[in-house]
Amino acid sequence: MQAIMEKRAIELLENGTVDRVLGWSAGEFPYDMTPAVFESVEELQNNFVYNDFCGANLSKYLIKESRKGGKILVFLKPCDTYSFNQLLAEHRVLRENVYVIGIECFGKVDVEKLKAMGLSGITGIIAKNGVYTVETVYGSKEVKMADAMAERCLSCKSKKHVVYDELIGEEGEVVDDCDRFDMVEKLEAMSPDERFAFWRGELSRCIRCNACRNVCPACTCEHCVFDNPNSGIAQKAAVNSFEENMFHIIRAFHVAGRCTDCGECSRVCPQNIPLHLLNRKFIKDMNEFYGEYQAGEDPNAKPPLGTFQTGDREA
Amino acid sequence: MEETLIPYAGIVTKITEQTPDVKTFRVEAPNGGKLFEHEPGQCAMLSVPGISEAMISITSSPTNKDFMEFSIKKCGCLTDWLHSMEEGQMITVRGPYGRPFPVDGALAGKNLVFVAGGIGLAPLRSVINYVRDNRDKYGRVDIIYGSRSKEDLVGYDEIVSEWMNTPDFHVHLTIDREQAGWDGHVGFVPNYIAELNLSAVNTCALVCGPPIMIKFSLPNLTNAGFDKTQIFTTMELRMKCGIGKCGRCNIGNKYVCKDGPVFRFDELDALPDEY
Amino acid sequence: MKKLTNLNAFFAAIAAKQALYLPVDNAVGKAEYKKWQEGTVMSDALNTARSAKDFFFPQTENLMEFKMEGKRIDVIDTREACEDFVIFGVRACDAASFDILDRVYLVDPVDSYYKNRREHGTVVTLACSRPAETCFCGTFGIDAADPKGDVTAWKVEDGYVLRANTEKGEALLASVSDLLTDTDDTAVKAEQEKLRAIMEKLPLANLTTDGVGEGLTKELFDRPEWAALSESCIGCGTCTFVCPTCQCYDIRDFDTGHGIKRFRCWDSCMYSDFTKMAHGNPRVSQLERFRQRFMHKLVYFPDNNDGIFGCVGCGRCLASCPISMNIVKVMKTLAKGGNQ
């Protein structure tokens, strides 16, 4: 896959279709790829990588990158294309300056899952026939790919690209029985006290690093309310933990109806808070109240929270 | 020494409107006198609890034994609040912070040239009045001070009635544009420096004002023969602690709150261009 | 050196006299420091997700309060005497980070809040036995096999070996002397040898500080590589908040309804408003903010602290950066180019 992508990127760079390429560059370890912009064939040849550890959703970078002049090629996984579409709907990305190559995806690895299996001192990871051979300074171990897959990929909602200029690999389908609301249903079945305790426990670990906000493709305000000293809620860390929890709740409200459930918030959380569950609760509620709606699926669709019908449910 | 970050409460006993957007606030301890002693060029953290806290230069001279004064331009959340308050209101003050102008070191016995623009006179006023009160310790004094208009000259009355009547004090005022009722110099401060034929011999220059004024004044001082080691300025960056720990006012390896705010120009040259 | 075989009895004896904190696995399987009580099981994890700096420099702390009445303001010092506490299981990297924090907070003028906690805390370090690929403490001269602290502990086959390094450490061990027996350093030496052999095989074993350090501001500040390094930084504070040596803070006021509470909280130079003033911002883009963080650790801090780097190689930022950019990549990139 990496070789095909690199070859195509070089072609498009050389024939002048694009001026820059947004992809991933190699890391120190087998799993720590960094999103990077490549401006030359040499850079691509030296540093471009694509593998099962390239989980980052690159669509948000296009807000900035599509305004730098020239055309940029971006590689988007199916779930990333929903974010891209949503950004288009919100007029945040200049479509004409972006060349989208959709890439097929069978799920990405969460390296934390490997580490949780006791794998430490990782020096190499080789993928073959659905199995990763993880080499460490303490010996090697085989792990089934499915056991290392990121949580969000286990309940993948769609293997279909909703927008692209060209595709590499096979196009997939929307996954109707993705079970992504299972945990939300479990939370709904809890008593209010249990649910309150669940969230207080999870959110108590928050270190207010803002990674969830900054990575979120739906969080694109030029000036965030939490950065506005006059908003009354602008604190890096609040005086008490209850205030602190409000950050996540307010943020979930703000992205409701626009969140495509890309799962970046939970991926980046250094404290492993399952933030995506807040968003999924909103998605599930909106589906039930106003009919099925998938943000980012169709940039021209009327968002349920942006339209009013006389039959709308009040709460 | 230990720092608690806990301020004193002081009473604003007098508010003087200096220009349309600059007021001078006199602060005294609740039972009279000064909250603490300071040296010329040092700053204090002023705050209105619940609004915010900010670093402000102490504009009064340490030779003033009864009170401290702060000349403050209205330009943000705390300063807006200060500008709307009445006399008798308490505020909080902690300090003094920072490295002062070397009035007993490099400046002692020298001729002095003060170059200021707008509110930039505030930190220099502390030095100027210190020099007036220790007149025999310094030589000739030239003050070049400019503002947008006559109304924007901070402390105009004091300049005319006190400074202009001090022996061997030469005050050169200028405003940006012609204006009715002004028969003095018109033009920008850097150009005025060039016109004045200043002597750099046994002289130090103290410069404070908007970055653009400082930028263009420097070559004109150099042309007049000033070496960078003879020129001092005072810097302003965002600060929270005032003691070199909160980590935001650094320029390279120097903290403006602790290593500054007063810097010699050759010292600034050694720092990265990030201010 | 002292030998300890009953760890639980040791914990119970310490906890009977003062608060004892140690790494415990949390709900998501990561270690975090928790107060010991009967039944608490120490985590096997290499290190805690958050660093140990919280003990001395907590994420938020109240500094003072103000009573506001009409034009009157009363300043209330709300500081309380800190009670003695013990932290067990601090790794060499985090123990070294305390020295770095001390160089900020205990130099004149001394931060009284930090000093208060530092004086009342006793640090028991634990030598590493299973370092990760993200570890590079050795780059900064830190020995994972012989950590600092008031007491150093090594896990050996049939228990723990303890060594007091300071008066505070002596006092702690004396207070539980009935649980300890005298021993020599044979078992410790064997463990140290094992660990050092592993350390040599780690991927970052050969990382050096070549190309960074004291006195290199002019050489490094304008390096063109900063642009590419910072390009995909999302400007969050993850690296700064998991970092054991990041010590920048903000001071903020909070209206409680009955008065104003002034508190301080961790801040991050990666945040866009860190240096923002009413009339502008000297660090306009993420490039300047990103550069500041690394220049501070790799040049400015060494400049002001006898060449000591502001990084201890704990590897937390390597493991948690959302885009996998980190100090190792920065160091290697800066070492590659330039005039070396």
pLDDT at residue number C145: 96
pLDDT at residue number A240: 66
User: Is A314 domain-assigned?
Assistant: no
Could you tell me the residue ranges of all domains in chain B? 8-97, 111-234
pLDDT at residue number A239: 59
Specify the number of domains making up chain A.
3
Beta bridge partners of B147: B175
By residue range, what is the domain housing residue A136? 113-142
The answer to whether residue B240 neighbours chain C at the CB level (below 8 Å) is: yes
Provide the shortest C-alpha distance from residue B75 to chain C (in Å).
Answer: 6
Backbone angles phi, psi at B234, to 5 degrees: -130, 135
Cβ of B3 within 8 Å of Cβ of C303? The answer is no
Please indicate, yes or no, whether residues A302 and A200 belong to a single structural domain of this protein: yes
Distance between CA C145 and CA C131 in Å, rounded?
10
3-state per-residue secondary structure call for A58-79: CCCHHHHHCCCCCCEEEEECHH
Contact status, residue C131 vs residue C195, Cβ threshold 8 Å = yes
The answer to whether residue B76 neighbours chain C at the CB level (below 8 Å) is: yes
Specify the number of domains making up chain C.
2
The answer on pLDDT for C338 being more than 90 is no
The answer on pLDDT for C222 being more than 70 is yes
B54 vs A contacts (CB less than 8 Å): none
C104 vs B contacts (CB less than 8 Å): 245
User: Is A283 domain-assigned?
Assistant: yes
Provide the shortest C-alpha distance from residue B23 to chain C (in Å).
Answer: 17
Backbone angles phi, psi at C264, to 5 degrees: -120, 150
Chains that touch C (3 or more CB pairs under 8 A): A, B
Domain C-terminal end among C201, C232, C257: C201
Cβ of B52 within 8 Å of Cβ of A230? The answer is no
Please indicate, yes or no, whether residues C225 and C328 belong to a single structural domain of this protein: yes
User: Is C159 domain-assigned?
Assistant: yes
pLDDT band at C340 (very low <50, low <70, confident <90, very high): very low
Look at the domain B111-234 and name its fold: Rossmann fold (3.40.50)
pLDDT band at B274 (very low <50, low <70, confident <90, very high): confident
Contact status, residue B173 vs residue B159, Cβ threshold 8 Å = yes
* DSSP structure class, residue B261: B
User: Is C305 domain-assigned?
Assistant: yes
Residue A211 has its nearest CB partner, among C265, C273, C322, at: C322
Please indicate, yes or no, whether residues C223 and C188 belong to a single structural domain of this protein: no
User: Is A214 domain-assigned?
Assistant: yes
Pairing state between β B22-28 and B68-73: antiparallel
Please indicate, yes or no, whether residues C243 and C160 belong to a single structural domain of this protein: no
| A100 CA to centre of own chain | 17
The answer on pLDDT for A242 being more than 80 is no
Please indicate, yes or no, whether residues C29 and C155 belong to a single structural domain of this protein: yes
C108 vs B contacts (CB less than 8 Å): 1
Residues of A with CB under 8 A from a CB of B: 229-230
Please indicate, yes or no, whether residues C234 and C258 belong to a single structural domain of this protein: yes
Distance between CA A165 and CA A100 in Å, rounded?
5
A35 vs C contacts (CB less than 8 Å): 232, 323
What tens digit of pLDDT does each residue of C193-217 get? 999 999 999 999 999 999 999 999 9
CA atoms within 13 A on the CB side of B163: 25
Calculate mean pLDDT across residues B42-53. Answer: 94
B94, with CB counted inside 10 A (0-12, 13-18, 19+), is: buried
Q: What is the mean pLDDT of chain B?
A: 94
Calculate mean pLDDT across residues A101-118. Answer: 94
User: Is C142 domain-assigned?
Assistant: yes
Please indicate, yes or no, whether residues A131 and A216 belong to a single structural domain of this protein: no
The answer to whether residue B81 neighbours chain C at the CB level (below 8 Å) is: no
User: Is A148 domain-assigned?
Assistant: no
Please indicate, yes or no, whether residues A93 and A51 belong to a single structural domain of this protein: yes
Please indicate, yes or no, whether residues A221 and A99 belong to a single structural domain of this protein: no
By residue range, what is the domain housing residue C310? 217-336
Contact status, residue B262 vs residue B232, Cβ threshold 8 Å = yes
Terminal alpha carbon distance of chain A: 47
Calculate mean pLDDT across residues B221-249. Answer: 93
Provide the shortest C-alpha distance from residue C215 to chain B (in Å).
Answer: 10
Please indicate, yes or no, whether residues C248 and C184 belong to a single structural domain of this protein: no
C277 vs B contacts (CB less than 8 Å): 76, 236-238
Provide the shortest C-alpha distance from residue A166 to chain C (in Å).
Answer: 24
Please indicate, yes or no, whether residues C191 and C296 belong to a single structural domain of this protein: no
Other beta carbons less than 10 A from residue A49's beta carbon: 18
Calculate mean pLDDT across residues A270-289. Answer: 95
Please indicate, yes or no, whether residues C142 and C12 belong to a single structural domain of this protein: yes
User: Is A77 domain-assigned?
Assistant: yes
Residue closest to A116 by CA, chosen among C25, C198, C93: C25
C276: helix, strand or coil: coil
Please indicate, yes or no, whether residues A162 and A56 belong to a single structural domain of this protein: yes
Please indicate, yes or no, whether residues A214 and A85 belong to a single structural domain of this protein: no
Distances (CA, A) of C325 to A33, C48, C234: 8, 20, 10
User: Is C239 domain-assigned?
Assistant: yes
What tens digit of pLDDT does each residue of C106-154 get? 999 999 999 999 999 999 999 999 999 999 999 999 999 999 999 999 9
Please indicate, yes or no, whether residues C139 and C239 belong to a single structural domain of this protein: no
Contacts 24+ apart (CB under 8 A), B252-258: B252/C217, B252/C221, B252/C295, B252/C300, B252/C303, B253/C217, B253/C299, B253/C300, B253/C303, B253/C304, B256/B98, B257/B43, B257/B55, B257/B97, B257/B98, B258/B97, B258/B98, B258/B99
Calculate mean pLDDT across residues B143-171. Answer: 94
Interfacial C residues in 273-332 facing A (CB < 8 Å) = 273, 318, 320, 322-325, 328-329, 332
Please indicate, yes or no, whether residues C308 and C244 belong to a single structural domain of this protein: yes
Q: What is the dihedral of CA C210, C212, C213, C218, to 10 degrees?
A: 130
pTM: 0.94
User: Is C70 domain-assigned?
Assistant: no
Cβ of C268 within 8 Å of Cβ of A209? The answer is yes
Chains that touch B (3 or more CB pairs under 8 A): A, C
Please indicate, yes or no, whether residues A84 and A51 belong to a single structural domain of this protein: yes
The interface predicted TM-score of the complex, written ipTM, equals: 0.93
pLDDT band at B275 (very low <50, low <70, confident <90, very high): confident
The answer to whether residue B183 neighbours chain C at the CB level (below 8 Å) is: no
Cβ of C267 within 8 Å of Cβ of A136? The answer is no
Contact status, residue A193 vs residue C14, Cβ threshold 8 Å = no
B20, with CB counted inside 10 A (0-12, 13-18, 19+), is: exposed
Q: What angle, rounded to 10 degrees, do the helices at A276-290 and A241-255 form?
A: 50
The answer on pLDDT for C218 being more than 70 is yes
Distance between CA C62 and CA C56 in Å, rounded?
14
A230 vs B contacts (CB less than 8 Å): 77
What tens digit of pLDDT does each residue of C227-266 get? 999 999 999 999 999 999 999 999 999 888 889 999 999 9
B75 vs C contacts (CB less than 8 Å): 278-279
Q: What is the mean pLDDT of chain A?
A: 93
Q: What is the mean pLDDT of chain C?
A: 94
C30 vs A contacts (CB less than 8 Å): 271-272
Please indicate, yes or no, whether residues A196 and A289 belong to a single structural domain of this protein: yes
Please indicate, yes or no, whether residues A96 and A120 belong to a single structural domain of this protein: no
Helix (H) or strand (E) holding A268: helix A264-268
Please indicate, yes or no, whether residues A250 and A268 belong to a single structural domain of this protein: yes
Backbone angles phi, psi at C81, to 5 degrees: -65, 135
Please indicate, yes or no, whether residues A104 and A32 belong to a single structural domain of this protein: yes
Please indicate, yes or no, whether residues A227 and A288 belong to a single structural domain of this protein: yes
Calculate mean pLDDT across residues C154-160. Answer: 95
Superfamily of domain B8-97: Translation factors (2.40.30.10)
C113: helix, strand or coil: helix
What tens digit of pLDDT does each residue of A182-233 get? 999 999 999 999 999 999 999 999 999 999 999 999 999 988 888 877 776 7
